[in-house]
Amino acid sequence: MGVTFKGESADYRAARDRLLQSEIALRRQMKAVATERRAQPPGPLVEMDCQFERIGAGGKPQKVRLSDLFES
């Protein structure tokens, strides 16, 4: 790929170049999957409003509904 470092072997450079190509392919695949995800139509409504606990004021547990987490 044109970049070499002092003391690296040809085997090391070849392995690093292969890894770089794999990382580039992975990044492209992740972007493609994200594009597909954004293109999905809206899913069904969630009928059950689950409750979770979070750390509230003063570090005390506080109940929060799923619908509250996505309010705008």
Tokens read off for 68: 């509250």
Mean pLDDT of the residues in the chain: 91
- Give the pLDDT mean for 15-20: 95
Q: What is the pLDDT of residue 1?
A: 56
Confidence of residue 68 (pLDDT cuts 50, 70, 90): confident
Contact 52, 66 (CB under 8 A): yes
More confident residue, 60 or 1: 60
Termini Cα distance of the chain: 48
Scored b (16 or more CB within 10 A) or e, 16-42 reads eeeeeeeeeeeeeeeeeeeeeeeeeee
Tokens read off for 33: 């999957």
Instruction: Write the pLDDT tens digit of every residue in 32-42.
Output: 999 999 999 99
Contact 43, 29 (CB under 8 A): no
